[in-house]
Structure 1
């Protein structure tokens, strides 16, 4: 390009455009939020695999799906919920509830990863209506509401409680938990606490074996965040915790409690950092980075592992379905019931872990392990025998497809998996010489009946040959004597 052409380009520079660029740069802020978001849009690379798993079917909660036509029918029930809440206390009127949500408006807006394009009045109205609906739905299902006073709610939603529960566990259908607790404490005596009611709701719709204790120090972002805390196998929330029996487990739990109570006065960021470091050390207690530097979180399928002498056992006293352990050639896995909503639930839990910067990738690690174990319907049938998997779908291939697809486009920290020690122990067991021989024998000679028959035929011929040779030698020595 000649100098004349360069000068021509410079002369044609649009100064108005440059001024607009400068204004855009000036208006851009490095930090536009007072807090980091906790309620996310599901990324397209996850949603593209199974879009329906992230879409509410019946009710919209929060701003992301509120304009969709098929979710408008539940709005009338939301107004009835608000009217019921307003009738609980004579000293609390509508203006009082509006004022309390107004005080939390900025914090609530910042909880969403996308900017909520609603004016203040519309946003507060949405938070009030959706909060009352979600609060009363949980209270109704946990039998906290007076049944005689809530017949209006039964007639409106008695046929769809499980669909509503499914929608409540959608990542894009969340409300800030601090707002729900504020509404609950304003309308009802906080005994039991709303977090305890939410935990009972989770137990009803997922597993009655979950056990949990709560304190006022821990904070929860939303229902999904509380759900993850309930099924976390690396903490000591459940009764009969096996980790308490070890000195290291007891020490970890003691240090964790110390950080939560004694150091609670520290700045929030420092307090959260200390707590996360303690939990991280307890989680990876069996991982030696020098020993497993080249290991990756992978194992062969369940049928291949079984050929190598690995047995699959249902863990009856697990803290949750995530509490997987390996010992003496036995992989102990808690029971998981696969129902119509299981795919949606697991995907939304994984989506939250993929989006959250503080994630421990618990459910992500679980689905990656199950994806390794389950390649075909035969692997599902093997895990059904000890009742590790309860199949309510009917089709074993459908379950295999579920776990094969659920890990698509999912990222997991190579050394962040709480199951890394399980991978390492299983591969060491499989790679021992006798187990390698056993796996090869099963693969080459017992994979079909004809190969097994030929093997037994060869063995029988060998035994007969040895026997005949032995009798011949003995006969020779007797004749010589």
Structure 2
């Protein structure tokens, strides 16, 4: 048996040994990694689908966008409305329908590459172009709030907007941007009366101006859907906004401080939302803190545990909904957390952002870490109640127990990044381990009662002494007066 094994194993100088080693090097080359070949609109990773309670969060309820869920039986009804709204788009466009369609057709080859290959094989070029054209025109109409003009129930409108935030229900911006530019130039996004002069103004807009208008509209659409808090302008923004009437060259010079990306930087709507409201400015750098500091965060504390040691919870009004901060006070601290609306679509929305984050491979993992951080705070229904009372959780559905269960389900198979929120975690841990502060806070009720008690007694004593002294000072010396009068009588 041993001789056979030796015959199979090639000698070190054998060409087969070198070929075998070379194959290992080739297979491990970065150019063949899955991350590089990941399509711009990826499928949800398999580990996210293992949790049975979360599977529906990645499936569209009423409308399909792109090839992944196209022609599913439960989505057929919305295809009729989609065709109707696209007809309205085409009828009022400044370009002929054939011209718009051909623009999309020119992009078919590149658009196919944005999706997993096995999902596009069933479509020939003509079918794929039709799907891209219909979905693109429909999304533009929805973003510009034309869905409100259709005869839909409120729950149907909510379901449509919910479906636009699914990772597998995205349309590549490669297709969407040309259609959006045509729509914007047509001027039908504006409340201005569509006179010939107004149409000429819209048609004269540059591509840069049109893209800015579209990004502004998409941001407003997102804020309406998820009720993102209004951004408080900084001093620089106020100055910049007050200078909008300056010559264009000067405004462009001032705008050089702006770090916002151009529209073609984004691949789809979900990615656009992620960068605007989850990633935020200056988040390309990791949270401060070293690996050594992270090891001190060795457990999680619920809301009520932190409340017992003097940590309060306050809303953090920012457009970046994952922007959690910690502020120290004299004896305690405050966790500043942006308000979050808990609705039927919230679970799906957060999980799809986390799935996108996993596919994109972002180092910060902000959304995934945010969901896990909130789960660490919410252990029992009482924790939900406390966050609701502080205006951090705003819910119109379910009981406190159901909300706590939603967070438990969301974090199954989610792996937060260790560096994210390291400053916040270390501050909480440092405060929790501060024995002096904890002793004072633990005995604050007896101490305060003692202080109040003796302050009250001391106050009464001081008041009595002051009253006595005041009375003594004002009282006349009748004994001296009597002696003086007696002397006078003699």
Tell me the TM-score normalised to structure 1 length. Answer: 0.69
Q: Which runs of 5+ in 1 are unaligned?
A: 8-24, 144-150, 236-251, 253-278, 447-451, 464-481
The verdict on how the C-alpha distance between 1:439 and 1:302 changes in structure 2, with shifts beyond 3 A counting, is: farther
| Match for residue 96 of structure 2 among 92, 98, 112 | 92
Paired residues in the alignment total 372
- Any idea what SS the aligned residue of 1:66 has? coil
C-alpha distance in 1 between matches for 2:226 and 2:298: 27
Corresponding residue number in structure 2 for 1:306: 307
- Which deviations, in whole Å up to 9, do the C-alpha atoms of 1:11-64 show, x marking residues without a partner? xxxxxxxxxxxxxx9xxx948999742222112321232111111111111111
1:292 matched to 2:293 = yes
2:213 is equivalent to residue 200 of structure 1 = no
Report deviation, 1:425: 0.8
Contact 1:346/1:363 (CA < 8 Å) preserved in 2? Answer: yes
Match of 2:275 among 229, 232, 235: 229
Whether contact under 8 Å (1:169, 1:224) holds in the other structure is yes
SS state at 2:265 partner: coil
C-alpha RMSD of matched pairs (Å): 3.5
Whole-angstrom distance in 2 between the partners of 1:201 and 1:185: 17
Conserved in 2, the CA contact under 8 Å of 1:297 and 1:420? no
Quote how far apart the aligned CAs of 1:439 are.
7.3
Deviations 1:342-392 (A, max 9, x none): 111111111111221236311111111111111001111121221111121
Change (3 A) 1:32 1:207: closer
| Mapping of residues 56-455 of structure 1, within 5 Å | 56-89=60-93, 91-94=95-98, 96-115=99-118, 116-117=120-121, 118-141=123-146, 151=149, 154-155=150-151, 160-189=156-185, 190=210, 193-211=213-231, 216=262, 219-232=265-278, 234-235=280-281, 279-281=283-285, 283-284=286-287, 287-289=288-290, 291-296=292-297, 298-315=299-316, 317-328=317-328, 329-358=333-362, 360-415=364-419, 417=420, 419-437=421-439
Residues of 2 paired with 1:31 and 1:292: CA distance?
32
Q: What is the distance in 1 between the residues matched to 2:57 and 2:154? A: 23
Match of 1:186, SS? helix
Higher alpha-carbon deviation: 204-213 or 322-331: 204-213
- C-alpha spacing 1:90/1:74, structure 2 compared with 1 (3 Å): same
Deviation track 1:89-142 (CA, whole Å, cap 9, x = no partner) reads 354332x22322233223222222453212211111110111111111111259
- Contact in 2 for aligned 1:41/1:114 (Cα 8 Å): no
Give the TM-score normalised by the residue count of structure 2: 0.68
Partner Cα distance (1:426, 1:32) in 2: 38
Taking structure 1 as reference, are residues 296 and 426 closer, same or farther at Cα in structure 2, changes over 3 Å only?
closer
Q: Counterpart of 1:280 in 2: which secondary structure? A: coil
Q: Is the 8 A contact 2:38 2:359 kept in 1?
A: no
Partner of 2:48: 46
Conservation of the 8 A alpha-carbon contact between 1:88 and 1:188? no
For the structure 1 residues 398 and 136, does the alpha-carbon distance in structure 2 shift closer, same or farther, using more than 3 Å as the test?
A: same
The SS at the match of 1:313 is strand
Distance 1:352 1:296, change over 3 A: farther
Shift of 1:421: 0.7
Whether contact under 8 Å (2:326, 2:334) holds in the other structure is: yes
Show structure 1 runs of 4+ deviating over 6 A. 2-7, 31-35, 439-442
Contact 1:142 / 1:197 at 8 angstroms: preserved in 2? Answer: no
